[in-house]
Amino acid sequence: MPTVPSTLSAPYNELTRRLSDLTALEEAIGILSWDQEIVMPKGAVEQRSRQIATLSVVRHERLSAPDLAELVDQLMHDQTLTDTQAANVREARRDLMRTTRIPEALVRRWSETTVKAHDVWVEARKADDFSAFEPILTELVELSKQRAAAIDPEAPPYDVLLDEFEPGTTQAQLEPLFADLKAFLLPMIAKVRARSQAGGLPDTTWLSEVVPADRQRTVGETVVRAMGYDFDRGRLDTSVHPFCGGAGPSDVRITTRYREDAFFGSLSGMIHETGHALYEQGRDLDLADQPVSRARSMGIHESQSLLWEKQVGLGRPFWTALLPKLQLSYEFLRKVDLDSFLFGISQVDLDNFIRVDADELTYPLHVILRYEIERDLFNGTLQVADLPKVWNAKMQEYLGITPPDFRLGVLQDVHWSMGSFGYFPSYTLGALYAAQFMNSCRDQVPGVDAALSRGDVEPLLTWLRTHIHREGSRFGTDELVRRATGEPLNPRHFIDYARAKFTRLYGL
Ligand code: ZN
């Protein structure tokens, strides 16, 4: 082994110093955005936009500095770096490439168009008028193609867009996964539909009992705390759209909303955001200001929220411990036994048009529908004008229902108005990863379910901390999943889980 002269580490130290500054800028933007959603007075909107825009420009300038690119290039060839250091350089290089390859004129046009498009979408949705949204959506698709071509002219544009949220994921990988899911879900949902029409299923009217927001908050906070969320490094607030934000692993802020006639939806939303928050709080604190500690991808982030919300938060062990406590707070639940409770919270809603309200079984089809539309838009086989027709036809084919208007159909999601194409698959990848992680945790930690039944999340949380949270972006997604579970992403875990669960719940 050659000894490493200490001067050789100077470029790497210089890089970490500059990346640390960039992280501080991103965290400051994070706090300003959180403040805007939660506490900022309405009148400050314009100033706040200016503050965030200025910080974003400073970040962009620093990230595109030519000497930073030289430093990264030099370090890409440095054989003396440790694996973690090399991964940090790799992640920094990815940020640089995705940022600096897009020409400035396109960056400006993009931000102007997305700001405008959001307002246009809000109005079009209010008026239930797709044709009002169509021109600017067409423009966004065109601009996205240009951005993709700027980042990587060799790759198919939709692959470049997918890569933004799921580094390394391509259409070629998604096609067989989604084909397997469809082949399982369509007949499974048909069986559930037939069983539901036959009647005689458990009563679930207790789900719409009215619970005041302050009582929901008290219960929710207890659950969030019991899951291991650290209130010394985070806080819980109320917002219109729940989210997990803040500024790095020491300041992870979650929000929720309370619907008085849907207490379980609110609780389940809190469990979801806490899953995201545990991932952030579990990052490697020694490397918190470096890209290598960041969450691996949107899909892996969603795997953490869905693992808690669905795999754990809809499961028997978790509620064995928690239902008796919930019954102390909510009197109307005292007449609901564990089996009826578990049926109610996992019930399949066969008449639902809205993705965000969808249950575990129908949700992936909402995602696959959007994925197929985006894929065809970017491969040039579908025109924006034809979206409503294609949307409704796919809803009918996959879920057996046709939206009565655009609000409940093609205009329901905010994503396209923000130019976020390629994001939707992450939700379903998250559900697949979650099932696979849970299975591996059960194999490796035999007492995990027994502990959950006693209200003890420690064995599960420790497994997640070790295999997912602390690993950050040290490895590519594939490698992370292989190391944690011994195999690449395998949809059988989710399919077997869902088949067993819904067969049991519906007595199929
Ligand atoms: Zn989420």
Structure confidence at residue 200 (pLDDT) = 92
Q: Which residue is catalytic, options 91, 273, 309, 374?
A: 273
Structure confidence at residue 2 (pLDDT) = 47
Query: Which residues of the chain form CATH 1.10.1370.30?
Result: 171-208+298-506
DSSP state of 380: T
Q: How far, in Å, is the centroid of ligand 1 from the Cα of 124?
A: 26
State pTM to two decimals. Answer: 0.94
- pLDDT at 499 > cutoff 60: yes
Give the three-state DSSP class for 235.
strand
Mean pLDDT is lowest, of 99-113, 145-159, 458-472, for 99-113
Q: How far, in Å, is the centroid of ligand 1 from the Cα of 275?
A: 8
Q: How far, in Å, is the centroid of ligand 1 from the Cα of 273?
A: 6
- pLDDT mean over 102-128: 90
- pLDDT at 481 > cutoff 70: yes
Structure confidence at residue 57 (pLDDT) = 86
The answer to whether the beta carbons of residues 478 and 488 sit under 8 Å apart is: yes
The answer to whether the beta carbons of residues 250 and 285 sit under 8 Å apart is: yes
Strand partners, 238: 256
Q: What percent of the chain has pLDDT over 70?
A: 98
pLDDT, tens digit, 9 for 90 and up, residues 275-321: 999 999 999 999 999 999 999 999 999 999 999 999 999 999 999 99
Structure confidence at residue 493 (pLDDT) = 98
Structure confidence at residue 8 (pLDDT) = 53
Structure confidence at residue 1 (pLDDT) = 45
Q: How far, in Å, is the centroid of ligand 1 from the Cα of 75?
A: 35
- pLDDT at 74 > cutoff 90: yes
- pLDDT at 152 > cutoff 60: yes
pLDDT, tens digit, 9 for 90 and up, residues 392-448: 999 999 999 999 999 999 999 999 999 999 999 999 999 999 999 999 999 999 999
- pLDDT at 348 > cutoff 50: yes
Structure confidence at residue 50 (pLDDT) = 86
Domain 171-208+298-506 architecture = Orthogonal Bundle (1.10)
> What angle separates helix 213-226 from helix 263-281, to the nearest 10 degrees?
30
Which of 309, 314, 345 lies closest to 207 in space, CA to CA?
345
Residue for token pair 């869905």:
306
Q: How far, in Å, is the centroid of ligand 1 from the Cα of 305?
A: 6
Q: How far, in Å, is the centroid of ligand 1 from the Cα of 311?
A: 14
pLDDT, tens digit, 9 for 90 and up, residues 198-219: 999 999 999 999 999 999 999 9
260 an active-site residue? no
